[in-house]
Amino acid sequence: MWQWRRLVFGRSSAGFVVRLLLLLAILSAVPIARARAAQAATAWTIFLPFLANGGSPPVSQVMPPTNWSYYITTTDPNVAYSLGCNQGTFDASQSPPTNSLVVLDFGGQLGDGSGTLMINGLDASNAQIEAVAEAFGHGYWYCTGHDLTSKLSLALGTNNSYFDVSWSGGTTWAQNVQAVVAYNQANGYNSQVITDGGNDIEPDWDTTVDSEAWVNGFAATSSTFSVDYGSADGCPTDSSANAPCSNGWTQYDVWYVSWGATSAQALPEIYSSTDAQQWAMLSLYGAEYRGSTGKISFMGPVDTYPSWNTSNTPLQAWQQLWSDLNRTAATAENMPFSAEMHNET
């Protein structure tokens, strides 16, 4: 206390005045410093949503970088290698290095199990699909350079809109994925490249019987995940009581192909605020009716902006899904990824 009094008052009246002015200047600067610190912190967070139950809002999550996924339009491995290299270079450039999630969408499976019909109307054989995925992973691994910690989750995707939506279609797709997994292991890329399956499953495109059979066939053949990056067409935005969705689907059916099946993971299309509300209700359905592990743990949202300019931007998709999930404790969570679909060429 004596030292503080000496610092402020000193031994003379002149010293007292000088020190008093200095003290006032220091004290006046404290609120400004605090305000600047708060402003800097706010710039890196997303938002604090209002909680309907009146509780305290959860801590907001920093939005991760948005990774580009691709509708594959060419079977040229060199193109895929370059895109994988771009992703690896980006991940390694972050401080600290970051992980990423990329979906390669090859279109709908052909009826004879030989490959897919890509979105540009050209066929891709199973061997070509595997070669493209292998080249993408190789490019990622090589271009991370000295960074040995970044990891790519690479999902080989199809959809439920074409012919081979069945148990056999799921097993065929799982065999493609397993071939890529074996290639990466043989070449040492698996230390940073994690290969899974994927399916753009949408209720409007096919029946529950066919789509669930595909998911079950995949799970029976491969130990990898099957990432559902589809939609919840017609599902309610305000009910979690296993209500009906489009085309004879129910909330249970959409929940099952995106989370309930042993291999299923959810990366839902969040093109609008309605989509976010639908998926929040699906997660609440799981939490309320499907036991202790029923709540969906989302990988993140996926959008198609700017290719489809009526879609949400990545930030809008992220904010809407995160906010709706965190309105109730039963579904509250943070998500590791943000994804956006682009045409490969």
Distance of CA 183 to the CA centre of its chain: 25
Domain limits, the chain: 66-343
Give the contacts of 126 (CB within 8 A, at least 6 positions apart): 113, 114, 115, 172, 175, 176
Q: Tokens 């097993």 correspond to what residue?
A: 171
Please check the confidence at residue 17 and state whether its pLDDT lies above 50. Answer: no
Q: What is the dihedral angle through the alpha carbons of 292, 282, 220, 198, rounded to the nearest 10 degrees?
A: -130
Asked if 162 and 118 count as a contact pair (C-beta separation under 8 A), the reply is no
The CATH class that applies to domain 66-343 reads: alpha beta
Length reported for the chain? 345
Lowest-confidence segment of 27-36, 72-81, 254-263 by average pLDDT: 27-36
Q: How confident is the model at residue 12 (pLDDT cuts 50, 70, 90)?
A: very low
Distance of CA 296 to the CA centre of its chain: 13
Q: Are strands 193-200 and 302-303 parallel, antiparallel or unpaired?
A: unpaired
Count Cβ atoms within 10 A of the Cβ of residue 181 and give its class: 0-12 exposed, 13-18 middle, 19 or more buried: buried
- Mind listing the pLDDT tens digit for each residue in 74-92? 999 999 999 999 999 999 9
Distance of CA 128 to the CA centre of its chain: 26
In this prediction, residue 310 carries a pLDDT of: 87
pTM of the model: 0.83
- Mind listing the pLDDT tens digit for each residue in 285-312? 999 999 999 999 999 999 999 888 889 9
Closest CA to 71 of 114, 127, 110, 116: 116
In sequence order, what DSSP letters do the residues of 221-265 get, joined into one string?
H-SS-EEE----TT--SS--SS-B-GGG-BHHHHHIIIIISTTEE
CA dist 187 and 70 (Å) reads: 24
In sequence order, what DSSP letters do the residues of 76-114 get, joined into one string?
-HHHHHHHHHHHHHHHHHSSS---EEEEEE--EEPTTSS
Please check the confidence at residue 147 and state whether its pLDDT lies above 60. Answer: yes
Q: Are strands 264-266 and 338-343 parallel, antiparallel or unpaired?
A: unpaired
Q: Where are any strands of DSSP class E within the chain?
A: 66-71, 100-105, 108-109, 115-117, 123-125, 152-159, 193-200, 226-228, 264-266, 302-303, 338-343
272 sits in the region (left: phi over 0; alpha: psi -120 to 50; else beta) called beta
In this prediction, residue 60 carries a pLDDT of: 79
Asked if 215 and 257 count as a contact pair (C-beta separation under 8 A), the reply is yes
In this prediction, residue 20 carries a pLDDT of: 36
Q: Are strands 193-200 and 152-159 parallel, antiparallel or unpaired?
A: parallel
Question: What DSSP designation does 300 have?
Answer: -
Q: How confident is the model at residue 258 (pLDDT cuts 50, 70, 90)?
A: very high
Lowest-confidence segment of 34-38, 64-68, 255-259, 323-327 by average pLDDT: 34-38
In this prediction, residue 58 carries a pLDDT of: 53
CA dist 229 and 281 (Å) reads: 17
